[in-house]
Amino acid sequence: MINGLLSLVFAALLAGPAHEPTSAPPRPVLIELYTSQGCPLCPAANEYLGRLDERPDVIALSFSVDYWDIYGWQDTYARPEFVERQRDYKTRMDLARIYTPQFVIDGTTEVGGSRPEGILAQIANRQLTMTGSVEINVQHHGEGNFTIDIDGSVPSPDPAIVYIAAYVPGWRTVNVEGGNNAGREIRVYNPVTAIFELGEWQQGEDSYGAALPEGLAGVFLVQGGNGGPIYGAADFRRSMTDRE
């Protein structure tokens, strides 16, 4: 019942116009949901993530963590490196703990999954403060091969880290057979399967190559080190059609 109510609250808040930006941001805001198939509140947070991704000014990804696995169900998308990424955010933001469901907004702030009004407010705040100093151009050469060109500079004296996150686009249904969600059929949205560090970058022109296997999409990220802010982000997939 609680999960159902949370889903309704998420939908109602997302539909409201109060937090709509007054002008177009320089790029989409990256929303990361830290989630687990064994977390009772996470199915509702995934539903909300999917609704957020309907906005053209958002890139939405879910990162599954493995620390719920001890309760009887092994998350099918969890990776230890996703927990490390979440720990970097904990340290950078001086949080007391890591937890699920947790939304991280553009690497700058976080909001618990039971506070959708806070998530919308932080998206709007980020759109007011982000800079457009990193330009990303993605070229598709066919067969899942891409060239990603970047130019500009990061607003920091320290170099940024360049990443590619591979994810399964859209909804995936999981029949959970153990743990706190045993017997439930839950949906996860845009689950990340891997994240790769490509190197450091601070300014000027640079190019990277990427290849996506069939069925996967990618997000190219320029991010401050050790869980720093997102400076640039671009979503791409094999078909390079409109986002689903």
Q: DSSP letter for 159, please.
A: P
Q: For 80, phi and psi rounded to 5 degrees? A: -60, -35
Determine the Cα–Cα distance for residues 125 and 229; give it in Å rounded to an integer: 14
Determine the Cα–Cα distance for residues 110 and 85; give it in Å rounded to an integer: 13
Residue 94: exposed, middle, or buried by beta-carbon count in 10 A (0-12, 13-18, 19+)?
Answer: exposed
User: What DSSP line would sit under 185-234, residue for residue?
Assistant: EEEEESBEEEEEEEEEE-BS-EEEEEE--TT-EEEEEEEETTT--EEEEE
pLDDT, residue 244, reads 41
- For the whole model, what pTM was predicted? 0.88
Residue 115: exposed, middle, or buried by beta-carbon count in 10 A (0-12, 13-18, 19+)?
Answer: middle
Give the torsion through C-alpha atoms of 194, 200, 204, 206, to 10 deg.
-50
Match domain 2-237 to its CATH number in 3.40.50.2300, 3.40.1190.20, 3.40.30.10, 3.30.1360.120: 3.40.30.10
CA-wise closest residue to 197 among 222, 162, 225:
162
pLDDT, residue 131, reads 82
pLDDT, residue 151, reads 97
Q: DSSP letter for 235, please.
A: E
pLDDT, residue 238, reads 60
Q: Which residues contact 1 (CB under 8 A, 6 or more apart)?
A: none
User: What DSSP line would sit under 26-86, residue for residue?
Assistant: SSPEEEEEEE-TT-TTHHHHHHHHHHHTTSTTEEEEEEE-STTGGGS---TT--HHHHHHH
The tens place of each residue's pLDDT in the chain, 244 residues long, gives 334 433 433 333 333 434 443 444 579 999 999 999 999 999 999 999 999 999 999 999 999 999 999 999 999 999 999 999 999 999 999 999 999 999 999 999 999 987 888 999 999 999 999 988 899 999 999 989 999 999 999 999 999 999 999 999 999 999 999 999 999 999 999 999 999 999 999 999 999 999 999 999 999 999 999 999 999 999 998 654 434 4
pLDDT, residue 172, reads 97
pLDDT, residue 116, reads 83
Domain segments of the chain: what residues?
A: 2-237
